[in-house]
Chain A
Amino acid sequence: MSAKIVTAYHLRDGDAVFLREDTSWSKDVAEAAVVETAEAEAALLETGQADVTRNIVLDVYAVDVEIVDGTPKPTKFRELLRCLGPSNRTDLGKQAA
């Protein structure tokens, strides 16, 4: 299985967020917990899902990543864009920070 991270949207502000090792959510994909087995993925998804029930996030799902320079980078272009921001406005979104 390819390496995976778990992502969601923050309920209040709609920001894309990534599940950390310590079960909190980060806005920075670099801080995401990376899992490499199906069991670990299921466990991570379950942790994320619990926050759906607690109305902290919504739309929890796993994303395929590769590790580049020690940080996870989504392999799908859509997910990569989601970690950056609109490609026509590099002054906006996460890439601007």
Chain B
Amino acid sequence: MYRYDEFDHAFVRQRANQFKGQVARRLSGELTEDEFKPLRLMNGLYLQLHAYMLRVTIPYGTMSSRQLRQLAIIGRKYDKGYGHFTTRQNIQFNWPKLEDVPQILEDLAAVEMHAIQSSGNCIRNVTSDHYAGAIATEVSDPRIHSEVIRQWSSLHPEFSFLPRKFKFAVTGDATDRAAVKFHDIGIIIKKNDAGEVGGEILVGGGMGRTPMIGKTIRDFVPERDLLAYVEAILRVYNLYGRRDNKYKARIKILVHERGIEEIREKVEAEFAQIQGSSLTVPQEELDRIAAYFADPDFEAFDAEALEAINRELEVRKFENRDFAAWMKTNVKPHKQAGYAIADITLKGIGETAGDITSDQMDVVADLTEQFSLDEMRASHEQNLILPHVKQADLFELWSALNSHGLGTPNSGLITDMIVCPGMDYCALATARSIPIGQEISRRFADLERQYDIGGMKIKMSGCINACGHHHAGHIGILGVDRRGEEVYQITLGGSGDETASVGARVGPAFTADEVVDAIETIVNTYLDLRESPEETFLSAYRRVGLDPFKEKLYAAA
């Protein structure tokens, strides 16, 4: 994985110092809150419902055991012994004191981490495929260009005061696990006919109040020109993006109002001016970064050994039903024979999605070191992943996870939900989401029933900002305030993968008491109408549309 060199170290140290100065100026009264707010936001520091909240970025979701251990320490020392993984490959601490934040940033810098641009109207943490480097179908590791973009976007002198926040996602696989079509800029790394690596660039996707699916602005940009191309997009956005209305300020609105053709014309004109300039990343730099993402030292297994391992796994599964269940959903094929990808869902039945205690972080850190070539991932689905586990170690890994409450066998099933913090923590929320998520989780706890329902993504947000990606949920839930009461709107048929779609509203909102029943009605309706158990909820919905669900949901009314 990427390691800082002296340039990166100096950069992060200086930035932490800079923020220390800003905090000091705030505490002395030299900076007013109005002036300090955008500065603290650019360092990931929010003021939430109960306290400050610090959001630490995990660039493209990749971390080492050392980094995770440091997060555990920060959670214990400056917070209340836990952290929360978000939908943008960040971790949030919910209770830090302003005075402590400079020290926290120093502690982070010591392990090559930071909170730079995890908030604010600037280019945010670049997110990527959480299986990058581990899956067989990948064209090229998306983290190489994610890293290039991360460095380029950090403290960008021209793009730190944009009309609104700006999010990048990069994938290197045709199967999209990074929701690239729901980002301001989505990049799909691919090869052209000549075999050169480059990227398809999508622009103007997003969630929020007006969900939009990104449009392809250029089919292929060679990798050396990627920075020039995205800089051209950002410049056009910074000049023409609307600043008169917060809700119309994202690039998706600019693309929508002016049309992709006009935006493309402007971007191409700008790109023509700057292509070949010092924005061209030299090959030696691409090579340098790529070397960090080269395959780790995988052990080679011959056919005989593989067969023995498989036999052993089968026996284990036969003997231990819980292990078998975990294998069934949480273990994915790896590109290297003899290895597997293991999902650690932070979705224990009835628990808060994405939350993890410092003690559990330590456990995962140990297991990362022991079983996953010292590399782990955080996914936008609020789960952790050990990407490089020897199949022979799976049982031992599972046993350890399970004994610390981290072995929930539900990856991709209905209880593996995305749930934003909602009103329990978030100052912007219009309703709570966590308790609803917990109740849904308990309602569908039965594993056989979860298997029967099959692949299902429920995504829930506590306000229109849509951090919980509800627009992209097979079932989306949005909590709103109706005359002082928390009520929940349901959308169906959203999807954040390569077949991206925005969910459609099923009808009037449900109260907190009704919403879990409503979800159950939707699920039962699906089970009744599907053509076969192989037809997933999303396929069935795409075949039949809203009506059958509407009928069942509102029949009694």
A contact residues vs B (CB 8 Å cutoff): 9, 11-16, 52, 54-55, 58-59, 75-78, 81-82, 85-89, 92-94
Contact = CB atoms under 8 A, between A and B. Distances in A.
- State the main secondary structure of chain A at its contact with B: loop
A77 B47 contact: no
Contacts of A78: 49, 423, 429
Contact of A11 (B98, B432, B486): B98
Contacts of B438: 88
Contacts of B352: 88-89
A14 B52 contact: yes
Contacts of A92: 80, 95
Given A77-B423, A78-B49, A14 B434 contact: no
B99 A13 contact: yes
A78 to B, nearest CB: 6
B404 interface: no
List of 9 A-B pairs having minimum Cβ-Cβ separation, nearest first? A14-B52, A86-B424, A14-B51, A55-B29, A13-B97, A88-B434, A58-B33, A88-B352, A82-B49
A11 B27 contact: yes
Nearest to B50: A93
A86 B425 contact: yes
A3 to B, nearest CB: 17
A77 B49 CA distance: 12
B484 interface: yes
A77 B80 contact: no
Contacts of A86: 50, 424-425, 434
A11 B432 CA distance: 26
A88 B484 CA distance: 20
Nearest to B33: A58
Contacts of A75: 484
B333 interface: no
Nearest to A53: B29
26 contacts: A11-B27, A11-B98, A12-B97, A12-B99, A14-B47, A14-B50, A14-B52, A15-B51, A16-B50, A55-B26, A55-B27, A58-B33, A58-B47, A59-B47, A77-B486, A78-B49, A81-B49, A81-B424, A82-B49, A86-B434, A87-B432, A87-B434, A87-B435, A88-B435, A89-B424, A94-B50
Contacts of B33: 52, 58-59
B382 to A, nearest CB: 15
Nearest to A56: B29
A52 B80 CA distance: 27
A14 B54 CA distance: 12
Contacts of A58: 33, 47
Contact of B51 (A13, A77, A88): A13
Contacts of B49: 16, 78, 81-82
A59 B50 CA distance: 13
Given A13-B52, A14-B51, A77-B486, 13 more contacts: A12-B99, A13-B51, A13-B97, A14-B95, A14-B96, A15-B50, A15-B51, A16-B51, A52-B33, A55-B27, A76-B484, A77-B484, A82-B49
B350 to A, nearest CB: 10
B172 to A, nearest CB: 36
Interface string B411-443: 000000000000111000100101100100000
A75 to B, nearest CB: 8
A12 B98 CA distance: 5
A59 B52 CA distance: 13
Contacts of A94: 50
A9 B98 CA distance: 12
A47 to B, nearest CB: 18
Nearest to A13: B97
A14 B97 contact: yes
A82 B424 CA distance: 8
Interface string B476-501: 00000000101000000000000000
A91 to B, nearest CB: 9
Among A12, A81, A86, chain B packs the most CB atoms within 10 A around the CB of A86
A66 B115 CA distance: 41
Nearest to A16: B50
A15 B424 CA distance: 15
A55 B47 CA distance: 15
B36 to A, nearest CB: 9
A52 B29 CA distance: 10
A78 B99 CA distance: 26
A76 B423 CA distance: 12
Contacts of B50: 14-16, 82, 85-86, 93-94
Contacts of B432: 81, 87
Contacts of A88: 352, 424, 434-435, 438
A9 B53 CA distance: 13
A86 B484 CA distance: 18
Nearest to A94: B50
Contacts of B28: 55
B1 to A, nearest CB: 33
A1 to B, nearest CB: 17
Interface string B18-49: 00000000111100010000000000000101
Nearest to A55: B29
Contacts of A12: 27, 97-99
Best-surrounded residue of B27, B33, B486 (most CB of chain A within 10 A): B33
B2 to A, nearest CB: 32
Contacts of B97: 12-14
